[in-house]
Amino acid sequence: MNVLMIYPEFPDTYWSFKHALPFEGKKSAYPPLGLLTVAAMLPSDWNKRLVDINVRPLKGADLLWADVAMLSGMLIHKHEIVQILKRCRSRGLRTIVGGPIASSVEELPQHADAVVAGEADELMPELVRDLKGGNLKPFYHAATLPGLDHTPPPDLSLINPRHYSAMAIQYSRGCPFNCEFCDIIEIYGRKPRTKSPAQVQAELDQLYDRRWRGSVFIVDDNFIGNKRKVKELLPCLAEWNQRHHHPFAFFTEASVNLADDPELLHMMKEANFTRVFMGIETPVEESLKEAHKLQNTRKNLLESVRRVQSYGLEVMAGFIVGFDNDPEDIFERQVRFIQESAIPLAMVGLLLALPNTQLFRRLKKEGRILNEGHGDNMNLRLNFIPKMDPQRLVQGYREILKRIYDPEAYYERVLRFLDRYTHPNHHRHLAFSDYLAVARSIVKQGILSESRRSYWRFLGTAALRYRKCFDTAMTLAVMGYHFQTLTRMVCEAE
């Protein structure tokens, strides 16, 4: 059996980092971990080929080679996935689609021979049997949320790690919180399930043996969802990293209550975590309550961010505008919070009512849903009727982006962050791509850019005052270019 695994191109969003990747000569931010894990569950005597369209195009020869095509993606990939499915089926190729999109788009069975909704771990034996027998069912649905005890390491033989900016592993699935707009808890449940430390170490060994050195993204939607288990894992990560002379720097996603646990923060620092994404969403308490994000209402959010930063963790954060309880001055309040918190990479988006979420169901009951949405919270086409005037909401959103990614404001925020940042205990392994990124940054941002004066002032200050973390300053300068480019695109869009 020849299995062709296809991952669609990621559109221009915060998480694609498309405009920063060329600086370091990379083609994509992260490999398609879900498909690589599914590949490891298939029979060992099957031939497998992965086409990550972010890395290379899908060719006719790939389709001719294959007996079946397996696709995965998210709602944001809907259009491209439908086009790929049509292309496959026009060649008579059997098609199977899974991933989060399978839980979001009702029309998928019209385009694919089989749709796999939910986690595939326990479905794979049945799917493999039906593939061998030539009698695929149109729909497979995971009846339970499986444990991760037997989830195999991803099949890294299908990729060239050098094409990616970071490698990825998964430790847990699920989140204990109940945010109204979130589809994670709908797909993966509210009881976090974890791998054992031994499983995680085996995946690190595999990365190390493939000669990967650098960043490793632990892709969990809430890494600290089960704090007790995480505290069992972190000493093992620290010991592994120390034993191998610190080849990896980790980053992940976590809820804001991370700031309440100094022991956990210290353990993450010792394991060489350097960045964490947190969903702050809004400084307006009534909007947080509306979204059922009560875990963010029990603390001073600015103090929480500062505490996390003080442990050598750069905070990336998500912010949302468009809640029913957003006041008229929400745009000013978001800008003020972002600047005061010294969060360089602030991912601000419009509220999006994702299918199969509590928010979607509530708004549908209220007659306010316009369509299933596109999965892109930077897209100015709202999929629901907001309480605020839609034009005012979109214009206010644009103003936030203009202000926080104005070069002067952005570099000021980065310097403020560096001022409170504790440099990691272990020096990061610098690769050729790092030096290449610096050279390209100097040319593109320091010579060709209209904001070159701001850039040079920033670099001069960073070199004089923050020499020990100058590599972090350069990384944030390059990543700022991506965010500034996206801001221009959003502000110019109709």
204 with 300, same domain: the answer is yes
pLDDT cut 90: percent of the chain above it: 95
Q: Does 114 map to a domain?
A: yes
Domain count, the chain: 2
410 Cβ contact partners less than 8 Å away, ≥ 6 residues apart: 344, 404, 480, 483, 484
CB 359 within 8 A of CB 336: no
Closest listed residue to residue 194, CA positions, set 144, 233, 148: 148
List pLDDT tens digits, range 40-76: 999 999 999 999 999 999 999 999 999 999 999 999 9
194 Cβ contact partners less than 8 Å away, ≥ 6 residues apart: 148, 171, 172, 226, 229, 230, 233
Q: Does 394 map to a domain?
A: no
Q: Does 418 map to a domain?
A: no
Give yes or no for residue 361 having a pLDDT over 70. yes
215 with 328, same domain: the answer is yes
Residue 346 phi/psi, 5-degree rounding, is: -100, 115
Structural domain of residue 261, as residue ranges? 166-388
Residue indicated by tokens 């099949």: 155
Q: What is the mean pLDDT of the chain?
A: 96
pLDDT at 143: 87
What's 116's domain CATH number?
3.40.50.280
Give yes or no for residue 426 having a pLDDT over 70. no
Beta bridge partners of 384: 369
CB 20 within 8 A of CB 138: no
pLDDT at 427: 60
215 with 283, same domain: the answer is yes
47 with 120, same domain: the answer is yes
Alpha carbons 29 and 211: distance in angstroms, whole number:
18
Alpha carbons 10 and 80: distance in angstroms, whole number:
9
pLDDT at 429: 64
What's the half-sphere exposure (Cβ side, CA atoms, 13 Å) at 129? Answer: 6
pLDDT at 192: 97
List pLDDT tens digits, range 124-146: 999 999 999 999 999 999 889 99
Give yes or no for residue 425 having a pLDDT over 90. no
248 with 121, same domain: the answer is no
Beta bridge partners of 170: none
Tokens at residue 451, please?
């904001």
Q: Is the dihedral of CA 11, 12, 16, 18 positive or negative?
A: positive
Phi-psi region of 440 (alpha: psi -120 to 50; beta: other; left: phi over 0): alpha
Give yes or no for residue 110 having a pLDDT over 70. yes
Beta bridge partners of 332: none
120 with 244, same domain: the answer is no
Residue indicated by tokens 């988006």: 349
List pLDDT tens digits, range 69-78: 999 999 999 9
Residue 310 phi/psi, 5-degree rounding, is: -70, -15
Alpha carbons 37 and 485: distance in angstroms, whole number:
33
